[in-house]
Amino acid sequence: MSAESQAGRVAVVTGAAASIGQALAIRLAADGHRVVVADIASADATVAEIVGAGGVALGVRCDISSPADVEALGATVERTYGRCDVLVANAGIYPVAPIAETSWEMWRQIMSVNLDSLFLLTQTFLPGMRERGWGRIVATATNGFYTGLPSLSAYVASKGGVIGFVRSIAGEVGQDGVTVNAIAPSLTRTAGTTTGPHEEMGLFEFTRTLQAIKRTQEPRDLAGAVSFLVSDDADFITGQTLPVDGGLVRS
């Protein structure tokens, strides 16, 4: 899909200040999208990289678990660009804790950030897509939904909800020219995973042994899949979850 064919489309990418979201935002900008970089952290670095490469980007601070913040994000996008054509709901958290050490507060925070946010973002941006007769929604899930991940039960449950939401909403909006899909990465090398307990628990090495491609996944490995799913080439693909995980899950 050429940059020319994407020119003028507006993509909102959450969790795009760094790591996976940053890689996705940069790729969509290179494809020709005007990108809204939404994150609770400063998006200056992502915006600077996109603009420096000749792209168009806007950074917006947003707590995606907050209805008020998501409403404000929608208002900013509407005021600035007048539309959102592509929503990439990527932001998420993944605290590592056995179920016995998972508090109700932790459970609710994970569900709020990982799953409730997808509901809020969809309700905000879907109406405009349906009205215009074209739209793309892509959510980041996890291949752990298929394999199970010890000490990450709340995270996996939240992403299982994402997959179920994608399947259900796709059936509601396909007739309106809107597709809804998800990607399911493997354990990816990011600032969060490399500073957390994943390394000391041996999760990177263990994951590599299960993959067909024997290297640790990097954020850039996900960019091509998302670029495809939001393109015109994918206009007959919806309700699907695509494992992008080096062949760990082979469906």
CATH architecture observed for domain 3-188+219-244: 3-Layer(aba) Sandwich (3.40)
Residue for token pair 């020319």:
4
For each of the chain's 251 residues, which pLDDT tens digit applies? 445 556 689 999 999 999 999 999 999 999 999 999 999 999 999 999 999 999 999 999 999 999 999 999 999 999 999 999 999 999 999 888 999 999 999 999 999 999 999 999 999 999 999 999 999 999 999 998 988 888 889 999 999 999 999 999 999 999 999 999 999 998 777 776 656 665 556 677 877 888 888 988 899 999 999 999 999 999 999 999 999 998 988 87
Q: Which DSSP string do the residues of 7-24 spell out, in sequence order?
A: TT-EEEEET-SSHHHHHH
Q: Give the N- to C-terminal CA distance of the chain in Å, as an integer.
A: 26
Q: What is the pLDDT of residue 1?
A: 45
Q: Which of 123, 40, 115, 30 is nearest to 74 (CA)?
A: 123
Q: What is the pLDDT of residue 197?
A: 65
Q: What is the pLDDT of residue 127?
A: 98
**Calpha distance 200→247 (Å, rounded):** 24
Burial 139-149 (b: 16+ CB within 10 A, else e): bbbbbbbbeeb
Q: Exactly one of 81, 94, 146, 155 is catalytic; name it.
A: 155
Long-range contacts of 47-50 (CB under 8 A, 24+ apart): 49/22, 50/25, 50/26
Q: Which of 4, 243, 78 is nearest to 60 (CA)?
A: 78
Q: Is the dihedral of CA 127, 120, 67, 39 positive or negative?
A: negative
Q: What is the pLDDT of residue 199?
A: 58
Tokens of 133: 């007769």
Half-sphere exposure of 215 (CA within 13 A, CB side): 4
List the chain domain ranges: 3-188+219-244
Q: What is the pLDDT of residue 195?
A: 65
pTM, entire model: 0.93
- What is the amino acid identity at position 117? S
Specify whether 155 is catalytic: yes
Q: What is the pLDDT of residue 188?
A: 78
Q: What is the pLDDT of residue 203?
A: 75
